[in-house]
Amino acid sequence: MMRALLAALLLLACASLPVRAQSAIQIPAPAWAAYMERFVEDSGRVVDGANGGISHSESQGYGMLLALLAGDRSNFERIWSFTRTELLIRDDGLAAWRWDPNSTPHVTDVNAASDGDLLIAYALARAGAAWNIPPYIESARKIARSIGQKLIVISGNRKILLPGVNGFSESDRPDGPVLNLSYWIFETFPVMARLAPEFDWAGVTNTGLELLGIAQLGPARLPPDWISAPPGKPVTLAEGFPPVFGYNSLRISLYLLRAGIDNTALQEPFRRNWLIENGGTPAIVDIPTGRVLTRLTEPGYRMLGAVLACALNATPIPEDLRRFEPTLYYPSTLYLLGWALVAERYPRCL
Amino acid sequence: MSLKRAILLVMLGGAVVPAIGQQIELPGRGTDAGNASRPKVDETALRYFASQGDTRRLEAEIARLRALYPDWTPPDDLFGPQTDVELQRMWKLYAEGKYGDVRSAISMRQASDPSWQPPPDLVARLTEAENRRRLINASDAEQWNTVLRLATDAPGMLTCMNIDILWRVAEAFAKTDQTARAVDAYTYVLNNCNDAGERLATVQKAMPLLTDDQIQTLLKLERKDDAGNPEFAALRDDLIRRRMGHAAENPEYSVPDSDIKRMEELARKETTPGDPLLLGWYLFRHDEASRALEWFKLALDRKGGPKSAEGYVLALNFLGRSLEAEPIAYEWRNAAPENNKAYLDVVIALLTADPPPVLDEIVLSRFSPVVMRDKYVPGAQALGWYAYNTGQIVTAQSWFETALNWDPNDEPSAYGLALTYWRLRDIARVNAMVQSWGPRSERIVALVDPAVRARLEARNAQTSLAGLRIDPLVAAAARLTPTPSLQPPPLGAPMAGNARAYQQGAATGFVPLPGASQYGQTQFQPVPQAGGVPSSALAYQQQAGGLPGTTIFPAGSGLPAQPSYSGQYAQAGDLDAVPTPRRRPTARSVARTGNTQPETTSSAASAAVARGWRLMDLDRPMEAVKAFDEGLARGTGRVSEDAAYGKSLAYLRMGMTNRAQAAALEAPQNPRRAVQLSGDLLAQRALAAYKDKRYVEALIALDERSRIAPEQQDLMVMRAWCYFKIRDLRSAERIFRALELQGNTEGRNGINAIDQETRKVRSG
């Protein structure tokens, strides 16, 4: 396995230079095959085993994006078939976010989640361009428009991205709008702007960057998973959510790098907490006290630190992280996204 | 099939037009397009089914292709070896419903062989299959617009083969306020689809979504089954249930008698509670409470649950049988919020009944905790009025205070409290209440302001004329007409003292009159009594001896001859008219209560009561009280009722009105007698107040009395003079004129007195 992976990496390193980034294969075939084997059912359902075997619009979107990055047209189609048939059923054209194999009907929460919709639309648009499949682009355009209509709203002088259609806005909550900065998948916004130029995606990007600069809360100065960002008032922890820098926010660093946003000030809290204070290992951090609650030692999470070190200091990816072994759906996904980034942008770290 | 599809396309309307162009399978497209060559028939599915030996699908496919291409004949080599193994695998996956796998396989082959195109038939079928799933998912998630969009984009799936999809599309139309189109969809099914079970199910599906008229339209498409019977016969009863259910919820609608008759038949025949319950609610909501009661009872007996209990309780309550309703209401009170409400309503009805019934202690003791738990203001208020109306003024005060604590802005509670202060002679607190509530409550102000009182009275009179059905609590409060000026309460001492004894009880729960608790074990039995009714004049007769010569008006008031009521009183029957209580066998009540009281005790009690009546005959009321007391202490049921009645009459004769009232409550009185007794007591109290120049109170007593009995001329005379004395000359004049018209000489006297009075004012 390892040999195969290394061989694939060598191939990749040679091949990636002349090929356009759009169609470059950034995830080695064996790694992708292992991911498919472990997390994707034949039906095209991407299974989040740590959450009771459910699927969600996010897992389906990640699955499609990874299939694209692995150059796997066939399984992209497989995952998209499930996504379209089972989740893309909302009247407003967005995806229902939660699908449970143990419930009938399977969709147990028809609310939308903006990161899932962004990932699906983004993967479709890129796949449609890479493989010249116009129906993908058409589907991507419909979703992008729906995101623009339903999830992008004005709050004070900000263009914000709501986490979902229901339950987060100023009118839905006294501390609204409640936002999740890890739903700002920055690399998707320029693509959305091409699909649905009538919406202010640049404004959304700017709000995300602005809030990331502001929401460095607590002694560790890390962005909480869920923030309350009422217009004209300070950003605080959102009521009713765990007051942590947790599984949501830890992907922000990767998202910034993947989008090519080289803003060292925004990466500083991640660098300090992961690379300086915790030896390269991300952690769940209690915002009010700054205390580390759980160190996240799984390879997929450590990969986030490694990618950051690579981007900032050209630190090579550690040997033990050069081999993909699927663990749980979420860290495995982050691992492959990180690997794809390094393979594309920072091949010197490999 | 194609014809049916065309029909449905029309049905789906304008939005469908672009979709028609995408139809792959519309017949004759090839020739229509001017293509002279024979269309290429896609036989891949056919070959796959043949290779699988799936004859059912094979035959269906042959039929389908023949319909599409009339010139086509199945190939001879159908069962020969297959050449395209990969494609065969795709059909296999498709047949297994593994659409993701098919998509993946097509995509993989295209990636490796860009020139390869999947058979259009495979793509069309795959798309349709996925759309079907997606439509079902959208329908399950109530995303109706998605359902309609998918149906419009892929109308190919709208066939009798996919009856479930047709139903879901029809439902989506209905749920998006397009019921006419929903009717079209169901009509399409009934016109075109032949499966008997599915046809029946179609009407069943339509029933909750369409109106009666629309359902009738669908029923016109009914066919005869093989035996020649109408195929929807089984639905007739459901339709009746539906009509009746709708009319039960919307009483402005009603159903034909034949429906009721049929439902009654069914309800009797079956053993389930559903139909009796439905009948109960329908009849109850259509003013047939006693018929409804039967059905609710049957539903309850068939374990019909909370709704049956609720209906049963409401019907009993409506029929004035609140006492019967109370235990059932209590038993079910926690089953559902409606049951709790029904329980509270029943007890409130009991507490605010006029006159107040004597309630079993348990009724009160279990109601109070519920009120306390829920901090239920109307409940506390009702307890307040009950206490007030049974003379337990301090207890009343405590309940009104509690209610006001829970809701400091509740005017009725404030009014009740102000009234209790007034009755307790607590002038300072009455004034304080007027101060704080003045701007918000006319009737509280009316306690101290005659002008406001007069205005309110006029309005009350109008309301009662209008015969409005009003909230029992409002009625309870309205019965107590406010008074123009604060007067020292006449009979306050015994009343307050009496009440104080129960104040302790109010903290833990409601402790009713001590006498009542004694009889708590015996059921309140409303036994209509035909004979032995005391004349209403009796009370005055007892008093008559003391009246002649009594100066009712203060000397020197300048009034003409004292108005006297003695004339009327004297007409009352003599002592022989005093009802001799009828002896009744007590066996029934003994059997019911399981009371095995020794016969000797019982007869001793009867003897004591008989002695009481003899002493009354001898006009020795004080001794009669003792005899009746003995009867009360030892007797039960009818005997104690008679004893209490006798005792209260004895007190009345001695002019001890309050005691008379208390005595009347010592044993449950039958309702009619209780009304008469209350009327007598009130007349007596009015007279006593009048003699003491407490005119306001006299008016209150008269008001209370007038609500249970018509006011005779003598009492009208008293009322008129009361108004005269409190300077409400307009009211006084109105009554005097009415009296004059009736030939009562006192009318003229009163009018003269008023003239004299007004002249005095003008000249002065």
pLDDT digits (tens, 9 = 90+) for B373-416: 888 898 899 888 888 887 788 888 888 988 998 998 888 889 88
With an 8 Å Cβ cutoff, is B22 touching chain A?
A: no
Pick the CATH number of B534-712 from 1.10.3470, 3.30.300, 1.10.530, 1.25.40: 1.25.40
Sequence ranges of the domains in chain B:
2-229, 238-427+491-515, 534-712
With an 8 Å Cβ cutoff, is A77 touching chain B?
A: yes
Taking CB atoms and an 8 Å limit, are A90 and B141 in contact across chains?
A: yes
A-chain CB neighbours of B142 within 8 Å are: 110
Residue B494 scores a pLDDT above 80: no
* Burial zone of B96 (CB within 10 Å; 0-12 exposed, 13-18 middle, 19+ buried): exposed
Q: What is the mean pLDDT of residues B423-434?
A: 85
Alpha carbons A144 and A125: distance in angstroms, whole number: 10
- H helix or E strand, kind and range, residue B252: none
Cβ(A162)–Cβ(A179) below 8 Å: yes
Taking CB atoms and an 8 Å limit, are B143 and A81 in contact across chains?
A: no
Alpha carbons B403 and B701: distance in angstroms, whole number: 26
Alpha carbons B289 and B314: distance in angstroms, whole number: 9
Which residues have a Cβ under 8 Å from the Cβ of B45 and sit 6 or more positions away? Answer: B61, B91, B119, B121, B122, B125
pLDDT of the residue at B492:
27
Cβ(A61)–Cβ(A123) below 8 Å: yes
Cβ(A82)–Cβ(A45) below 8 Å: yes
pLDDT digits (tens, 9 = 90+) for B560-597: 333 333 333 323 333 233 222 222 222 222 222 233 33
Residue B368 scores a pLDDT above 60: yes
For residue B178, give both structure tokens.
Answer: 């397009």
Evaluate the omega torsion of the peptide bond into residue A326 and state whether it is cis, within 30 degrees of 0: no
pLDDT of the residue at B667:
63
- A115 flagged as catalytic: yes
- H helix or E strand, kind and range, residue B65: helix B55-68
Query: Residue with structure tokens 């202490």?
Result: B633
* ipTM for the complex shown: 0.89
Which residues have a Cβ under 8 Å from the Cβ of B764 and sit 6 or more positions away? Answer: none
Q: Minimal Cα–Cα distance from B126 to chain A, Å?
A: 11
Q: Is A53 left (phi over 0), alpha (psi -120 to 50) or beta?
A: left
Of B106, B108, B144, the CB nearest to A91: B144
Q: Minimal Cα–Cα distance from B518 to chain A, Å?
A: 57
A-chain CB neighbours of B138 within 8 Å are: 89
pLDDT of the residue at B27:
30
Best residue of B137, B142, B168 to probe chain A, by most A CBs closer than 10 Å: B137
Instruction: Name the DSSP letter for residue A178.
Output: E
End-to-end CA distance of chain A: 18
Q: How many CB pairs under 8 A join A and B?
A: 73
pLDDT of the residue at B474:
63
Alpha carbons B187 and B202: distance in angstroms, whole number: 9
- Looking at per-residue confidence, does B527 or B611 come out higher? B611
A-chain CB neighbours of B107 within 8 Å are: 73-74, 76-78
**Is the dihedral angle over the CA atoms B219, B224, B226, B232 positive or is it negative?**
positive
Q: Note whether B238-427+491-515 and B534-712 share their fold.
A: yes
Taking CB atoms and an 8 Å limit, are A105 and B107 in contact across chains?
A: no
Task: Identify the three-state secondary structure at position A293.
Answer: strand
- Looking at per-residue confidence, does B443 or B278 come out higher? B278
pLDDT digits (tens, 9 = 90+) for B192-224: 999 999 999 999 999 989 988 899 999 999 998
Cβ(B119)–Cβ(B24) below 8 Å: no
- Taking the CA atoms of residue B723, residue B726, residue B727 and residue B733 in that order, the dihedral angle to the nearest 10 degrees is 10
Those of residues 134-163 in B touching chain A at CB distance below 8 A are 134, 137-138, 140-146
With an 8 Å Cβ cutoff, is A143 touching chain B?
A: no
From the list B338, B391, B449, the residue with the least C-alpha distance to B728 is B449
Q: Helices (H), strands (E): how many in chain A?
A: 12, 11
Alpha carbons A169 and A184: distance in angstroms, whole number: 16
Best residue of A72, A77, A146 to probe chain B, by most B CBs closer than 10 Å: A77
CATH 1.25.40 fits B238-427+491-515, yes or no: yes
Alpha carbons A219 and A225: distance in angstroms, whole number: 16
Alpha carbons A261 and B458: distance in angstroms, whole number: 83
Alpha carbons B116 and B106: distance in angstroms, whole number: 9
Taking CB atoms and an 8 Å limit, are B143 and A89 in contact across chains?
A: yes
Q: Which amino acid is at B140?
A: D
Percent of chain B with pLDDT over 70: 71
Cβ(B282)–Cβ(B275) below 8 Å: no
For residue B199, give both structure tokens.
Answer: 């046809």
Q: What is the mean pLDDT of residues A194-201?
A: 97
Query: In terms of residues, how long is chain B?
Result: 764
Cβ(B39)–Cβ(B70) below 8 Å: no
From the list B161, B158, B160, the residue with the least C-alpha distance to B172 is B158
Alpha carbons B721 and B701: distance in angstroms, whole number: 14
Question: Residue B284 half-sphere exposure, CB side, CA atoms within 13 Å?
Answer: 26
The alpha carbon of residue B220 and the mean position of all alpha carbons in its chain are separated, in whole angstroms, by 39
From the list B481, B478, B451, B393, the residue with the least C-alpha distance to B697 is B481
E strand spans, B103-230: none
- H helix or E strand, kind and range, residue B433: helix B427-437
Cβ(B298)–Cβ(B276) below 8 Å: yes
Which residues have a Cβ under 8 Å from the Cβ of B62 and sit 6 or more positions away? Answer: B46, B74
For residue B95, give both structure tokens.
Answer: 């047949």
From the list B190, B191, B207, B208, the residue with the least C-alpha distance to B199 is B190
Which residues have a Cβ under 8 Å from the Cβ of A184 and sit 6 or more positions away? Answer: A161, A204, A205, A208, A212, A252, A255
pLDDT of the residue at B586:
26
- A210 flagged as catalytic: no
**For residue B32, what pLDDT band results from cuts at 50, 70 and 90?**
very low
End-to-end CA distance of chain B: 106
Longest CA–CA span in chain B (Å) reads 134
Of B108, B133, B137, the CB nearest to A107: B137
**For residue B140, what pLDDT band results from cuts at 50, 70 and 90?**
very high
Instruction: Name the DSSP letter for residue B710.
Output: P
Q: What is the mean pLDDT of residues B171-180?
A: 94
For A56, B317, B382, B517, the CA distances from B350, given in Å and listed in that order, are 58, 9, 9, 17
Q: What is the mean pLDDT of residues B509-535?
A: 29
Highest mean pLDDT among A58-72, B73-87, B141-155, B200-214: A58-72
Alpha carbons A212 and A224: distance in angstroms, whole number: 10
- Looking at per-residue confidence, does B655 or B142 come out higher? B142
From the list A189, A187, A76, A68, the residue with the least C-alpha distance to A130 is A68
B-chain CB neighbours of A105 within 8 Å are: 137, 140-141
Q: Minimal Cα–Cα distance from A70 to chain B, Å?
A: 14
pLDDT digits (tens, 9 = 90+) for A9-33: 444 443 333 333 344 688 999 999 9
From the list A350, A349, A259, A273, the residue with the least C-alpha distance to A312 is A349
